[in-house]
Amino acid sequence: MDLAGLRLLTAVVRSGSISAAAREAGVTQQAASLRLAALEREVGAPLLVRSSRGARPTETGALVAEWAAEVVEAADRFDASVASLRGATEETLRIAASMTIAEHLAPRWLTALGADGHGPRIELTAANSEAVLAAVRDGAATIGFIETPEVPTDLATSVFASDELVVVVGRGHPWARRSRSVSAEELARTPLVSREVGSGTRLAFERALAEQGHSPARPAFELSSTSAIRATAAAGEHPAVLSILAVREQLAAGTLVKVPIRQLRITRPLTAVWRRGGSGVPTSARALLDVVRSVS
């Protein structure tokens, strides 16, 4: 039997909704429906009655769901036992963090965490926010740190700080010498040096423009690292939108210039995420999260 399908079935019976069960599992409704249909074929009988008001179990479905709950509970106990064993033998904390956090905040956290010479071995992966969420969902990372305004509902979350995005240009750019601020409309019309789709920085910027009634122009360049965007903006003719954390040194040195934008201030939450279940924050990540909250 497909364990994921059994989890979905028990969630549908509990919530009365395939869409709610899909959100809980972190999959699309279409994927959940296909998995449940496969489970019905495997059992050889209809398990759910679907309607515009939701979904309810058939008589067979209620019986299978009752059995499935026992299987799922046993699987969860097994996973917890193996995780405990792995933690005792490996003592490795796998962290995934979005680019700005990995480059500008995580080094301080890890230094503070290892200050006493004890603690687990750390593996840190830097990726965009979308990839971080995927790593946490599939278990590749114990805890993740994201900078997107879209905080997921299928994972446990804790906002630990906020961040501001600023528009920057090279000192030779015309905007660097303007005596008046740039309007949001003009910014929207201007091709930028941008992060790729899936980046929290890009999503926060596009959402802020949308709230002002503007759609951004197609990016002049799409680059996957903050350092590449900084260098391109400093050397070229295109502005960039980056975290203030990522450009403080360049602003102080004068290689980049901050451009004021009229009636547009872009902020976003910085959020820790981990899989739901158990007693809350994974045991191996609790010390790290304490450091994050105290340092940030």
pLDDT of the residue at 24: 83
CATH number at residue 234: 3.40.190.290
For residues 45 and 171, state if they share a domain.
no
What is the CA 271 to chain-centroid distance, rounded? 8
pLDDT of the residue at 265: 92
> In this structure, what token pair is assigned to residue 286?
């609790």
- What confidence tier does 111 reach under pLDDT thresholds 50, 70, 90? confident
The answer on pLDDT for 161 being more than 60 is yes
For residues 54 and 69, state if they share a domain.
yes
Residue 99, burial from CB neighbour count under 10 angstroms (0-12, 13-18, 19+): buried
Number of domains in the chain: 3
CB 35 within 8 A of CB 22: no
CB 209 within 8 A of CB 216: yes
For residues 146 and 274, state if they share a domain.
yes
For residues 38 and 99, state if they share a domain.
no
- What is the torsional sign of CA 171, 174, 179, 185? negative
Summarised one tens digit per residue, pLDDT across range 230-264 is 999 998 889 999 999 999 999 999 999 999 999 89
Q: In the predicted model, what is the mean pLDDT of residues 82-101?
A: 75
For residues 80 and 227, state if they share a domain.
no
For residues 153 and 179, state if they share a domain.
no
- What confidence tier does 78 reach under pLDDT thresholds 50, 70, 90? confident
End residue of a domain, out of 39, 63, 88: 88
Residue 205 carries which DSSP code?
H
Put simply, whether the predicted model's pTM sits higher than 0.75 gets the answer: no
Summarised one tens digit per residue, pLDDT across range 64-73 is 998 988 888 8
Domain hosting 191: range is 163-267
For residues 216 and 156, state if they share a domain.
no
Summarised one tens digit per residue, pLDDT across range 131-145 is 999 999 999 999 999
Largest CA distance in the chain: 74
Task: Please tell me the distance from the alpha carbon of residue 41 to that of residue 30, in angstroms, as a whole number.
Answer: 17
> In this structure, what token pair is assigned to residue 189?
């019309």
CA-based nearest residue to 98, from 26, 208, 202, 25: 202
CB count within 10 Å of CB 165 equals 26
For residues 200 and 77, state if they share a domain.
no
